Amino acid sequence: MTKIKIKTKRGAKKRFKITANGKLVHYKANKSHILTTKTRKRKNRLKKSVIVNLVDAMNIKRLVPYL
């Protein structure tokens, strides 16, 4: 009997990357427009990637099974 393949959610695949240790990483939101009202410090913090929370990571791995 063959194993049924699960379709990958393409939006999730584009938003999340996996690290060498197997953790999920994403970039922060609110960096695309209305940047004049945000401070330089805030915009610099928004540039950096963040490790996904463990509970959320389990749900994301279900959306992207072959990441």
Q: Which domain holds residue 24?
A: 10-63
Count up the domains in the chain and report the number.
Answer: 1
Indicate whether 59 belongs to any domain: yes
Indicate whether 1 belongs to any domain: no
Tokens 């194993």, residue located? 3
Indicate whether 40 belongs to any domain: yes
pTM: 0.77
Indicate whether 3 belongs to any domain: no
Give the distance from CA 18 to its chain's centroid: 9
Indicate whether 20 belongs to any domain: yes
CA-to-CA distance for 31 and 46, rounded, in angstroms? 6
pLDDT tens for each residue of 39-55: 999 999 999 999 999 99
CATH of the domain at 29: 4.10.410.60
| Residue 30 in this model has a pLDDT that exceeds 80 | yes
Indicate whether 34 belongs to any domain: yes
